[in-house]
Amino acid sequence: MLLHVLGTAAGGGVPQWNCACPGCSGARAHPHWRRRHASLAVQASEDRWYLVNATPDIGDQIENCRALHPGSGSGSGCGPESGPDSGSGSRRTPIAGLILTDAELDHTLGIARLREAGADGLELLATGPVREALRTGLRLEAVLGPYTPLTWRELSQERPVSLTEESTVTISAIPVSGKRPRYAVELPVPDGGSWVVALLLTNHTTGATAVYAPALAVWPDALQAVVEQADCVIVDGTFWDDEEPRRTGISTRTATGMGHLPIDGPGGTAERLAPLRARSLYTHLNNTNPLVDPSAPQHKRLADQGIEVAGDGMVIQL
């Protein structure tokens, strides 16, 4: 199972278009600080890939990953060079569909960007509440219908789904929280823990598992159970500490109040990750997070606990 990290930033990316905070200014001055919105490509079979979340950066994220280029054949590299065009007709793609962890704008706006799928349609794997939010809140199906049909597959905890018929990778969804996107707060969608899920990816050839959880308002027992068994865990690193959103003036709420457990401090996620045998990485960094600066001392604090910060373009094989 091959995972390509397509982006590692929270909403706005790094830099964010209207922000001059130290992280965003630093990223303008030093391009290697830049991070696109958090997303992952998962290889389902030789030349079939699923994207986890569809961000506002999806077009650039596809172009920056050679394996996602149309006509890339079995290429698995994530670089700017395109492989030879091997099929017939010019409209084709190794991207088989999209998997959604939630219905947040940062994770769904890119769906409309793929309207050129045309008659081929787009396959979306999502929980019931996420599907309903996109249908009734964003009116995505009605708006995209004249361009490309959407087909849905239900993500659940009980019934892992095979990505494609020939794929040995299955995916299931661990309910994390009932945190609704702001645009969906008043929607008549039944509540449940499955507004936000963690994904459990299993490679049945090797038995390896990975957990991807870019939004963690809480750390449920079911999540703890899967991360204890996992080989790789990639989780919400939006904020370094609970006070960061207030200190930096981006919100009147704490990190936890905004639906993101902080990394550091009591109840933070670092103390959950440090004891795991899994390779553990943070993603979904907000531009206020000191980790945006590659020379920040917080990187060593994490490294001392055996925890990594994911970077755009990282490739993980399991």
What whole-number distance in Å separates Cα of residue 236 and Cα of residue 216? 6
Handedness of CA 268, 51, 316, 295 (dihedral sign): negative
Q: Is residue 75 within the footprint of ligand MLT (CB under 6 A)?
A: no
Q: Which two tokens stand for residue 145?
A: 């219908």
Considering only CA atoms, which of 30, 91, 90, 93 is closest in space to residue 65? 93
Q: Which does 259 bind (CB under 5 to 8 A by kind): Zn ion, Mn ion, ligand MLT, none?
A: ligand MLT
What whole-number distance in Å separates Cα of residue 40 and Cα of residue 230? 17
In the list 287, 290, 292, 318, the residue contacting Zn ion (rule: CB under 5 A) is 287
- Residue 215 beta carbon to Mn ion: minimum distance, rounded to whole angstroms: 7
Q: Which two tokens stand for residue 124?
A: 């979306």
Cβ closest to ligand MLT, residue 104 vs residue 132 = 104
**Which residues, in sequence order, are CB contacts of 305 under 8 Å at separation 6+?**
270, 273, 274
x/- site string to Mn ion, residues 101 to 140, per CB under 5 A? ---x-x----------------------------------
Q: Is residue 182 within the footprint of ligand MLT (CB under 6 A)?
A: yes
> Which residue type, as a one-letter code, is found at position 152?
W
Q: Which two tokens stand for residue 129?
A: 């509440």
- Residue 34 beta carbon to Mn ion: minimum distance, rounded to whole angstroms: 17
Q: Is residue 32 within the footprint of ligand MLT (CB under 6 A)?
A: no
Q: Which residues between 215 and 244 bind ligand MLT (CB under 6 A)? A: 215
Considering only CA atoms, which of 67, 43, 316 is closest in space to residue 168? 43
- Residue 194 beta carbon to Zn ion: minimum distance, rounded to whole angstroms: 31
- DSSP 8-class letter at 175: E
> Which residue type, as a one-letter code, is found at position 241?
D
In the list 41, 50, 97, 106, the residue contacting ligand MLT (rule: CB under 6 A) is 106
In the list 5, 24, 78, 285, the residue contacting Zn ion (rule: CB under 5 A) is 24
Q: Which residues bind Mn ion (CB under 5 A)?
A: 10-11, 104, 106
Binding residues for ligand MLT, rule: CB under 6 A, are: 10-11, 104, 106, 182, 215, 259
